[in-house]
């Protein structure tokens, strides 16, 4: 038991730094790093308004179709609701 303790202590005193010191600048990796854009694109005010309007209108059409508020339930109304929701998602991808 005593040998293990003295062995561990001798390892600590002999050891030096196990990792290299950090350099001021990282070495070049050869990978392309795109430049940081100087100006951020800003969407017009109507983009998020249109996005939420399409999403909400799509959900309302689908729910109203299931509750028979638009007359007889039909697949055409479901496709209209899904189309409105898809338009909302497409508008959301253009939002900056």
Indicate if the pLDDT at residue 8 is higher than 70: no
pLDDT digits (tens, 9 = 90+) for 53-65: 999 999 999 999 9
Asked whether residue 59 is assigned to any structural domain, the reply reads yes
How confident is the model over 7-34, as a mean pLDDT?
67
- Domain containing 59: what range? 41-74
Q: How many domains does the chain have?
A: 1
Long-range contacts from 54-63, C-beta under 8 angstroms, 24+ separation? 54/84, 54/85, 54/87, 54/88, 54/91, 55/84, 55/85, 55/88, 55/89, 57/84, 58/82, 58/83, 58/84, 58/85, 58/86, 58/87, 58/88, 59/85
Asked whether residue 33 is assigned to any structural domain, the reply reads no
pLDDT digits (tens, 9 = 90+) for 26-55: 666 778 888 777 777 788 889 999 999 999
């Amino acid at each position: 038991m005593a040998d293990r303790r003295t062995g561990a202590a001798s390892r600590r005193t002999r050891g030096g730094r196990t990792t290299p010191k950090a350099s001021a600048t990282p070495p070049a990796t050869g990978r392309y790093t795109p430049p940081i854009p100087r100006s951020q694109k800003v969407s017009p005010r109507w983009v998020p308004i249109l996005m939420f309007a399409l999403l909400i209108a799509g959900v309302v059409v689908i729910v109203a179709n299931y509750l028979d508020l638009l007359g007889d339930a039909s697949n055409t109304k479901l496709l209209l609701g899904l189309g409105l929701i898809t338009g909302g998602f497409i508008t959301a991808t253009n939002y900056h």
